[in-house]
Structure 1
Amino acid sequence: MPTLHWLTRDEDVRAAEKTPTRLLEEAPELGYGDRDAGNLLIQGDNLEALKALLPYYAGQVKCIYIDPPFNTGQAFEHYDDNLEHSIWLGMIVPRIQMLHDLLASSGTIAVHLDDEELGYFVVIMDEIFGRSNRINIVTFTQGAAVGHKSINPGLVTVINYIIIYAKDKSNWTPYRVFTARDRDKRYSSFIKNVDEPYEQWALIPLSKAFADSANMKVNEHKKVFGDNYEAALNEFVIENSYRIVQPVSPDYKNVGQETRKIIDQSLAEPNRIFLQKRENHSDIYLQKGKRWLFYKDKLKKIDGQLIAGEPLTNLWNDLRSNNLHNEGQVKFPKGKKPEALVKRVFDLFSKPGDLVLDSFLGSGTTAAVAQKMGRRYIGIELGNHAVTHCVPRLQKVIDGEQGGISKAQNWHGGGGFRFYRLGPPVFMGNGAILPDIRFPVLAAHVWFAETGIPWTQPARLTPFLGVHEGHGYALLYNGILREKSTNGGNVLTRRSLATIRRAQGEFMGPLTVYGERTILSQATLTAEAVVFKQTPYEVKVNP
């Protein structure tokens, strides 16, 4: 498979590994609402923040949406968006590596870019995620050739792209999404007596049925309704979709024998209506060899409204980025994306209760949308506008703000989030563990380093951390045994091993124990199927 090379590639692909694992320190005064809702807002460098999340959230995120700097020279207040190509690649590669690790096996990542780095980025994504896991590249129409754009020479750029990959396509399933479409005017026949037995049904033109409903003549109702005619007709069609049909000729060669037989009968008896009842499928009505398609089967519930819909394609030209200045009630010039766009991504690749993540949170759009859609979320933002933009925006959302997608989601407020900043590294420069690191913090790190999955902290802490793939893990650290004697505490002794054995319950498999030292002989360790690892020297600084 092709790979992309640039001057600092070797250093950049190892940047994630070299990034220190930092603590996340809560700033309670910046949290809001229900702090136990499972939502996190983190201020700090997103590479370090992603590394800090790994011991707790690796493989847990269902959907990632990021809108990184486009590298187009659009210098604006909150991002350096004028980076040389190799620097941009060096920035994005380790972050994509981290995001890959955080994504669930059934998860999806959607990355929003323009064409400046698109070609390079697709090669990078193919390398990290695998080309077989590429789902699609969506074209998003973000504006029109109006205003200052209309005076530019040559082609006017009005599109961006959303590059979509699965973590593991064999374990991946999207959700079906529909978009609104214009009324299909081919459905122009109306069953005037639908309440009678189907054998007696009679068709009249839709235009006549609509005129009759308003007590008008066909040739006058357009004049009466004027500019509102099409809207009024659409409303009538939706209300009567169960009796509006389009007769079509079935593909005779590709239908079953029973359907062919009924088609032949309907041709032989053209004035009769035939019915073929089917289990788990719509019934088939035929007359004169033609099947009646009902308009009701074209209707979909989109954003709470029953309207004509069609399956979503990879051309999204119905969501515009203009007039976004007041969405979310925060200003973010040239960087804000419409809530409807993020909603569409989450509709496709997540469901309520799923965990979503945005590591380039910007003005907080992704978190706001996740809050309104009932998703749990993690948002990461470097600058001070994590406080000046994201926090107040989310506070307003929790209080019931009605902009963006609120009406479509029937949003009335609720929920909450915790706010965190990056703290000191878990490990100091010499590899030693930072003093005063709490047991659950190091336990989560040790567990993740050994297993590659997050550690679930139990209600009652013991030195036994758990079992993964038939192997047990334990940690003697920070007085977990509440013993300060020479032969207890953080030292592996027969007594502390017995405590671990009691905590491990019925598990009798091999065991790895982390501690300051052990007084047990190698023969004893071998007999007990125990591997001892010394803290801090054998704790992996970079899992």
Structure 2
Amino acid sequence: MTELNFKGKEFVYNHHLAVPFRPLVPHADKGIGPVSLDGNLIIHGDNLHALKALLPLYAGKVDCVYIDPPYNTGKSDWSYNDQVNSPMIKEWLNSNPITVDDTLRHDKWACMMWPRLQLLRELMKPGAVIFASIDDNEVALFKHLLHAVFGDNNSPQTNPHLGTIVWKNATDNNPTNIATEHEYIHVFCLQRGDVVPIWNSPWSDLKEHLLVKESDLLGQNLSAEQLSEKYANWFRQHKSQLGPLQEYNQIDSGGIFTASRSVHNPGREGYRWDLMNPKTGKLVPQPLMGYRFPEETRDELLAQDRIIFSDDPDQLIRIKIYLKDYKEKMPGIVEIDGRRGANELKKIFPESKQAFKNPKTFTLIEWLLSFTAGPDAVVLDSFAGSGTTAHAVMKLNQRDGGNRRFILVECEDYADHLTAERVRRLIKGVPASKDDEYRSGLGGKFTYCTLGDPVELDKVLSGETLPPYAGLGAALFHMATNRALEPAAVREDDFYLGATEGQHVWLIYKPDLEWLKTPEAALTLSRAKAFAATDPDRRHLVFAPARYVSQKMLAEHNIPVEFVPLPFALYRIDRS
């Protein structure tokens, strides 16, 4: 693949590695329910730092990402503000905000997105999908950036680019004579080829309800035609609950709902073979361009009772698809009126004339998530805006009974009074709303966080920075294991952080400078024995400010404990 170059790339290429860890600081009074860093989160802070703060807890755990970054139209005043130590970047900072007249605005936009995409990639699990909204201004550059981060396109099996969706949003912002009534959503997958992305079938979530309905219908001793008509009527009444499904009206003799699809293969020459129709006693007519599968597949389908024959001798065969096997294919074009977002927000904030400029409609994001976010998925949006992604996750959970979690990051001052307030109102209800749907509330909980001071290990013992135990522990655990910390496993009173397959990790620490200078903060022989006794068959890694036992003595006593001096932990851990 041709290498992507842009001015400033050499300075931001590894900038995500230099961003310091900053602990998440919960604000219980601004959330709903008990504080929980492994539940729904809304984080107020620069998304570059927030994404780095999430790594110790969520590295490799995110199932689905939706981002709606600045479109770089030149009309809005976004600024490149990452603290990159280079004369060129500093010169750029002096020329902010970025406008349409800035000849380097595309390079600056790429510099802004590059480290954020790198951190998003680290947070995603193999097979996770990212949806990235954009318009004509950066659609080409954005695709190249995503390819540079997620991989090239050497083959259809490994190409991380799953496709680009055209969103027809019924707005025209183009001053030329060509109406622009669409935007784009790039869809990429992490490590495609090793893990196949999960494309959910909404049928599977509704299967029990459908079977109950089917049982009611079949109990009426209706003819096949009457049954088909009743099912079609039921479908029309419940279509809004089913999400992005096609309409199916074929029901086989056993009463199982199936999808009927023609098997002719227009556009290219297919396979030629004969098949007797048992209903007519005649050969099924040959499709003009031949069948799309060979005789071996035909015989398998016959053995599985997957071929539907017709009483009409001129009818081509059709394939039966059971609901449990059906997988919906995501359309490449979706038409959802973008103006719905403003109307939705108005119902939640009836006292405000315009709570947020150009909000996305939650219907769009809910539609995207319905294909890729399973019932227990973690969904991340690092350009949260008005909180539309949280709205979509909550509505999707309401629809199918799922337990998806959302993580929102917003850097602007409205993170509390708009982004989080929208979620508060969705949970509790909006008494002043004229819409019944919003008056009652959806229920739920979330934790509101800001970002603490950077965790700088070389300043801990000097007392310049004393991060909380959980913040420092999460950073150290991630550095030592390249895994995310499980908050539920932490036992602060025992100085225990957690475990991986081969080792346990401990941290002897309190955010108290005087205590850190006492013998209580050191690794001793008795403490090493106590740590090892919890699991003698595994290695134990212990972070501590000091030790009163040598590594040689630990080895002589066959104690599988390794000491890592706290101030120098960053430089002593082998990540290979």
TM-score normalized with structure 2 length: 0.69
Distance in 2, matches of 1:26 and 1:380, equals 14
Residue of structure 1 equivalent to 2:19: 19
Aligned-pair distance for 1:451?
Answer: 1.2
Corresponding residue to 1:440 among 447, 463, 470: 470
Residue of structure 2 equivalent to 1:362: 385
Aligned-pair distance for 1:341?
Answer: 0.9
Measured at CA, do residues 299 and 406 of structure 1 come closer, stay the same or move farther in structure 2, by a change above 3 Å?
farther
Residue of structure 2 equivalent to 1:286: 311
Aligned-pair distance for 1:280?
Answer: 5.6
Paired residues of 1:267 and 1:289 also in contact (CA < 8 A)? no
Q: Deviations over 1:473-512 (max 9, x none)?
A: 33222299xx9996x5221221111121123x24244x43
Residue of structure 2 equivalent to 1:218: none
Measured at CA, do residues 454 and 154 of structure 1 come closer, stay the same or move farther in structure 2, by a change above 3 Å?
same
Mapping for residues 173-184 of structure 1, pairs under 5 Å = 173-176=197-200
Q: Deviations over 1:339-365 (max 9, x none)?
A: 111012111210222110101001110
Mapping for residues 118-517 of structure 1, pairs under 5 Å = 118-131=139-152, 132-145=159-172, 152-169=175-192, 170-176=194-200, 259-260=275-276, 262=278, 265-266=281-282, 279=304, 281=306, 283-290=308-315, 311-316=329-334, 318-328=335-345, 329-330=348-349, 331=354, 334-374=357-397, 375-400=404-429, 413-427=442-456, 430=459, 435-457=465-487, 458=489, 460-461=491-492, 462-478=494-510, 488-503=519-534, 505-509=535-539, 511-517=540-546
Residue of structure 2 equivalent to 1:5: 5
Distance in 2, matches of 1:177 and 1:319, equals 21
Bigger mean CA offset, 469-478 vs 362-371: 469-478
Percent identity, aligned pairs only, is 24
Report SS of the residue matched to 1:56.
helix
Measured at CA, do residues 431 and 365 of structure 1 come closer, stay the same or move farther in structure 2, by a change above 3 Å?
same
Residue of structure 1 equivalent to 2:122: 101
Aligned-pair distance for 1:49?
Answer: 0.9
Unaligned runs of 5+ in 1: 180-193, 211-230, 269-275, 301-308
Q: Which amino acid aligns with 1:535?
A: L
Q: Which amino acid aligns with 1:380?
A: V
Bigger mean CA offset, 464-473 vs 163-172: 464-473
Distance in 2, matches of 1:247 and 1:90, equals 48
Distance in 2, matches of 1:426 and 1:159, equals 44
Aligned-pair distance for 1:34?
Answer: 6.6
Report SS of the residue matched to 1:135.
strand
Q: Which amino acid aligns with 2:406?
A: Y
Distance in 1, matches of 2:199 and 2:261, equals 31
Bigger mean CA offset, 320-329 vs 532-541: 532-541
Q: Which amino acid aligns with 1:27?
A: H
Distance in 2, matches of 1:479 and 1:322, equals 50
Distance in 2, matches of 1:278 and 1:323, equals 49
Distance in 2, matches of 1:250 and 1:7, equals 52
Paired residues of 1:266 and 1:286 also in contact (CA < 8 A)? no
Aligned-pair distance for 1:530?
Answer: 4.0
Residue of structure 2 equivalent to 1:53: 54
Bigger mean CA offset, 492-501 vs 469-478: 469-478
Q: Deviations over 1:503-535 (max 9, x none)?
A: 3x24244x4322112232342244445432211
Measured at CA, do residues 324 and 467 of structure 1 come closer, stay the same or move farther in structure 2, by a change above 3 Å?
closer
Measured at CA, do residues 22 and 248 of structure 1 come closer, stay the same or move farther in structure 2, by a change above 3 Å?
closer
Q: Deviations over 1:160-201 (max 9, x none)?
A: 11111111212132325699xxxxxxxxxxxxxx97998xx9
Distance in 2, matches of 1:353 and 1:101, equals 20
Paired residues of 1:70 and 1:113 also in contact (CA < 8 A)? yes
Measured at CA, do residues 530 and 247 of structure 1 come closer, stay the same or move farther in structure 2, by a change above 3 Å?
closer
Paired residues of 2:22 and 2:471 also in contact (CA < 8 A)? no
Paired residues of 1:277 and 1:283 also in contact (CA < 8 A)? no
Residue of structure 2 equivalent to 1:217: none
Distance in 2, matches of 1:425 and 1:541, equals 20
Residue of structure 1 equivalent to 2:292: none
Q: Which amino acid aligns with 2:427?
A: I
Paired residues of 2:71 and 2:134 also in contact (CA < 8 A)? yes
Aligned-pair distance for 1:260?
Answer: 2.4
Measured at CA, do residues 498 and 115 of structure 1 come closer, stay the same or move farther in structure 2, by a change above 3 Å?
same
Measured at CA, do residues 285 and 278 of structure 1 come closer, stay the same or move farther in structure 2, by a change above 3 Å?
farther
Aligned-pair distance for 1:416?
Answer: 1.7
Report SS of the residue matched to 1:161.
strand
Distance in 1, matches of 2:31 and 2:418, equals 14
Distance in 2, matches of 1:325 and 1:246, equals 39
Distance in 1, matches of 2:14 and 2:263, equals 62
Distance in 1, matches of 2:458 and 2:42, equals 28
Give 1 or 2 for the bigger CA radius of gyration: 1
Measured at CA, do residues 126 and 434 of structure 1 come closer, stay the same or move farther in structure 2, by a change above 3 Å?
farther
Measured at CA, do residues 393 and 479 of structure 1 come closer, stay the same or move farther in structure 2, by a change above 3 Å?
closer
Distance in 2, matches of 1:241 and 1:76, equals 55
Distance in 2, matches of 1:471 and 1:109, equals 32
Paired residues of 2:23 and 2:467 also in contact (CA < 8 A)? no
Report SS of the residue matched to 2:567.
coil
Residue of structure 2 equivalent to 1:75: 76
Paired residues of 2:28 and 2:34 also in contact (CA < 8 A)? no
Measured at CA, do residues 334 and 299 of structure 1 come closer, stay the same or move farther in structure 2, by a change above 3 Å?
farther
Aligned-pair distance for 1:123?
Answer: 2.0
Distance in 1, matches of 2:545 and 2:555, equals 19
Distance in 2, matches of 1:474 and 1:134, equals 41
Report SS of the residue matched to 1:104.
strand
Q: Which amino acid aligns with 2:61?
A: Q
Report SS of the residue matched to 2:394.
helix
Bigger mean CA offset, 96-105 vs 330-339: 330-339
Paired residues of 1:141 and 1:160 also in contact (CA < 8 A)? yes
Measured at CA, do residues 197 and 419 of structure 1 come closer, stay the same or move farther in structure 2, by a change above 3 Å?
closer
Distance in 1, matches of 2:33 and 2:500, equals 36
Report SS of the residue matched to 1:160.
strand
Paired residues of 1:73 and 1:81 also in contact (CA < 8 A)? yes
